[in-house]
Amino acid sequence: MRLTALAALLGALVLSPCHAFALSDALGSWGNAAMQDLHATYDQGQSEVFIPGYSWHDPHTYTAAKRAQLNDWAIGLGWGRIRFDDAGNSEQVYALAFSDSHHDVEPVVGYAKQFIARPFTPNLRLGIGYTIGVTSRADTMKNFPFPIALPLLSIGYRRFTLYGTLIPRFNGSPNNGNVVFLFGGLRY
C-alpha cells in the first residue's frame, strides 16, 4: 500500500505546475514544450470527474474458472482536466483509482490525447487516441509504479463521455491481458 501512495504522490508532483517547469528544463526543448502543454491543459481545461465502471475479460484469453474469480466491476473515482484545442481535439491530465480485476486498489496518473470527430451534431463526439501514465498493481511488480501506454476510445454527448481502453495480452500464457476497461467522465 505504501508503494501505491508513492505512485499517487509522484503523479501529483509531476502534474503540479511548479514541478512541471523544473522538470521541463531537464528534458530540453521537447520536454519544455510538452510540459507547457500539460500546464496549459491543467490551467485552461475544464474539470472532469471520472467514474470507473466495468472490466470485460476476454473469454478466449481467460478460463471460465479464472473469470469466475475476477472482479468485473471496477468501482472507483477519478478527477482530471480536459482541454479542447482549436481543431476540437482533446488533451487531458488525470488521476483515478479503482478496484482492479483482483479487488486491489489500482491508482493511475496520466495524460490522454484524442482526435475528435463530430459526425452528426456538435454535441456528439467520437474520439480515438491514446493515454500514457503511471500505475501500480499488486499482481504486477508488487505495487511498484510502472509506465503504461494504451489506446483510448470515447463517445460523448454534451458533458458526458464514455471512455474505453484495451489492456492487451502481451504473451501467450492464459489468464492475462485482453481486458476492456470502461469508465465515464462528466465535465463540470
The catalytically annotated residue of 57, 90, 136, 154 is 57
pLDDT in single tens digits along all 188 residues of the chain? 555 554 454 455 455 554 445 555 566 777 778 788 888 999 999 999 999 999 999 999 999 999 999 999 999 999 999 999 999 999 999 999 999 999 999 999 999 999 999 998 999 999 999 999 999 999 888 899 999 999 999 999 999 999 999 999 988 788 888 999 999 999 99
Q: Which helix H or strand E contains 17, and what residues bound it?
A: helix 17-44
Instruction: Say whether 100 is catalytic.
Output: yes
Instruction: Say whether 57 is catalytic.
Output: yes
What is the fold of 2-187? Porin (2.40.160)
The β-bridge partners of 79 are 49, 95
Residue 133: per-residue pLDDT: 96
Domain residue ranges of the chain, discontinuous segments joined by +: 2-187
The β-bridge partners of 54 are 73, 182
The catalytically annotated residue of 24, 100, 136, 154 is 100
C-alpha–C-alpha distance, residues 133 and 146, integer Å: 8
The catalytically annotated residue of 24, 101, 136, 154 is 101
Residue 30: per-residue pLDDT: 73
Residue 129: per-residue pLDDT: 98
The reported pTM is: 0.83
Q: Which residue has the cell 521537447?
A: 30
